[in-house]
Amino acid sequence: MRSKGTKTITENRKARHEYFILESYEAGIELVGTEVKSIRQGSVNLKDSWCGIENGEIFVKGMHISPYEKGNIFNRDPLRPRKLLMHKREINKLYGTLKQDGLSLIPLSLYFKDSKVKVQLGLCKGKKLYDKRADMARRDAKREIDRNLKIKNQ
């Protein structure tokens, strides 16, 4: 019996700090068996990963999937580029947008959807330093307000 629903494996929190996320897309990912087993153990890192479009195909680069301990000769290179599975017209639309507007395509999260591994991609625009500072100030102010409300309600 296969499991239903979604289960988050990992998230790229650094991307949410470094970029404004304009749109998000869902894509499948082409993996080998030992990589899936390693992902089920949670041995994956999206921290410095990014996506590129080459010859009408989209690849995720810099995503680190640790080798599976019991995989011996079947293990692949942990940093190899992995092909993402999307419709051709979606890829062409993304390609045009990336070339025209100078945006980036960044993997935001990796999750299981009905026992298949999926990647959430974000069409992102880089933040400037002052944007990051403003976000941190806003987050700190919200945390302080929540803390004061919690103390006041007790």
How far is the C-alpha of 28 from the C-alpha of 90, rounded, in Å? 13
Name which of 41, 49, 37 is nearest 12 in CA terms. Answer: 49
The yes or no reply on domain 6-127 and CATH 2.40.280.10 is yes
Look at residue 93 in the predicted model and tell me its pLDDT. Answer: 87
In Å, the largest CA–CA distance within the chain is 61
What's the pLDDT at 1?
45
pLDDT at 3 (0 to 100) = 61
pLDDT by position in tens, the chain (length 154): 456 778 888 888 888 888 888 888 898 988 877 788 888 888 888 888 888 888 888 999 888 888 777 766 666 667 788 888 889 998 888 888 888 777 888 899 888 888 888 899 988 888 788 788 888 898 889 898 888 888 877 7
Q: Tokens at residue 112, please? A: 């299981």
CB 82 within 8 A of CB 63: yes
Helix or strand holding residue 120 (H, E) = strand 116-126
Domain boundary assignment for the chain = 6-127
Q: Which pLDDT belongs to residue 87?
A: 92
Q: What angle do CA 123, 125, 127 make, to 5 degrees?
A: 140
> Which residues make Cβ contacts (< 8 Å) with residue 120, sequence separation at least 6?
24, 25, 26, 107, 108, 109, 110, 111
Q: What phi and psi, each to the nearest 5 degrees, are found at residue 47? A: -55, -50
DSSP 79: T
